[in-house]
Structure 1
Amino acid sequence: NFLNPIDGTPLEGTKELDPRFCLKVLVLFRLAHPTTEIRIAGGREVNLRSLQPLGLYAANSLFVSDYLTTPGQPASEDHRMIEDLGFRVVRHTTTPPEPVIG
């Protein structure tokens, strides 16, 4: 997540992060942790702005659409961005665990 200041919270009014700084953070984290899964989520639209697509070269995935406390961009825009980069959209589905008997 990237900070997305929300009115009425302790961090309201906090200055937005520079998109290049956010991208550098993603790249440095990838270099330091080459096998760790990195997901881009809340605040990416606000902070990465037009550099969002570049973030996917360092990250493994991103959260699509709305987040816990803020709306995201439409899923169709995320899918188009991913496909424009030549990546595939893979949907993760979760299967409920089998009940434990006995």
Structure 2
Amino acid sequence: MVHLAQTFRDGVLSKYDYVWPGVNVEKYGQPDPPAYNMSNIPAGFPLFLSYGGRDELADPGDVGRLLGDLRGHDPGRLTVQYLEQFAHADFVIGTCAKDYVYNHVVSFFNRFN
């Protein structure tokens, strides 16, 4: 939960901030935690990204930045699903998540078995 709060506070997806620069230097070799470089995800790694039009936690700007970082990804191994009516919790506890999300995720990953 602390790491999630740091991400919201800083507006950057970075490694855990130990708060004390000395500890960060020990862990990361620098006083501030490094940001994750999403473009380092191997281009052939299967990715299924799903986001919703009512999701306050994964807003269009954040998703756009992520997709920009993934522009070199193998298109055959990247699926992006946008569900206009879904909010963040709908992906986990929504009554229709199985039909709209889970079945598609399982089908996607079965392609790479």
Report the TM range for the smaller structure's normalisation: 0.3 to 0.5
Between Structure 1 and Structure 2, the one with more helix by share is 2
